Amino acid sequence: MPMDTQTKKAALYRMVMPKHTCPYGLKSKDLLEREGFEVEDHHLETREQTDAFMREHDVKTTPQTFIGDERIGGYDDLQVYFGKKDPEAEDTTYQPIIALFSVAALLALAFAWVALPSVFAWQTLGWFISISMVLLGLQKLKDIESFSTMFLNYDLLAKRWVRYGYVYPFVETGAGLLMTAMVLPWLSIPGAFLIGTVGAVSVFKAVYVDKRELKCACVGGDSNVPLGFVSLTENLMMVAMAVVMAIVIFTQ
């Protein structure tokens, strides 16, 4: 537990070199100051100084924070010390997907504000889905290799045709762009329907039938989002968008 609030001094040792300033050192200093500590900021200005410090204190990384006679450790340890982070918590988070869907919703509202008589229209919901598809596709396109590797863990079509994992991000992004612009429906509708249906079936089988605990590739290959409801929702949204667009177009 943190020491008495009357004692507010900490010693921080961090790398500050001509060509490199450790970002975690800066974060540690900021956290200590926000917690009301007076920081003795010791700069390790050369590789030799850093190596000597690590040998002296038998540590493998810097920064290192000391409060009183106690070595707290690096930035993650400091977060735990101040109760900012649960050391027992699983390494999963919904933050990336919450941010993505929030931005998609705000963009859809912005489009509707400019183009529609009211933002509360069905078209706003359609834009939300299509913009979400574009943003989700973009996350996958950032590192297709990592995405395709994670995707192979559960997608049924990718397991049979490995190249599908490389094609998928382009189809999702392209279909989302076309649906946002409401052009070339003959191309966007089948594309969204295909990948959405295969994806929904694959996720349902992996999570709810096989009971596997996997990471979702929906926001890219470095995701810590658990596979399940989020990915299933992504795929069902694409299917719903394709079906609604087909009904609207072919009944006009």
User: How many separate domains does the chain show?
Assistant: 2
Interatomic CA distance for residues 213 and 64, integer angstroms: 35
Alpha carbon separation from 84 to 6, 79, 89, 133, 227 (Å, rounded): 20, 5, 12, 33, 26
pLDDT score, position 91? 61
Structure tokens at 60: 């493998």
Confidence bin at 13 (pLDDT 50/70/90): very high
pTM: 0.78
Tell whether 40 and 102 lie within a shared domain.
no
Note whether 101 and 204 are same-domain residues. Answer: yes
176, 134 contact by CB (below 8 A): yes
105 with 68, same domain: the answer is: no
Lowest mean pLDDT among 84-98, 145-159, 179-193: 84-98
User: Do 100 and 154 fall within a single domain?
Assistant: yes
What integer best gives the mean pLDDT of the chain?
91
Lowest mean pLDDT among 43-57, 207-221, 233-247: 207-221
Same domain, residue pair 204 and 132: yes
| Tokens found for residue 209 | 């039938």
In a shared domain, residues 143 and 206: yes
CA distance 124 to 130: 10
Q: What does the alpha-carbon distance between residue 99 and residue 109 come to, in Å, rounded to a whole number?
A: 15
Residues 70 and 150 in one domain: no
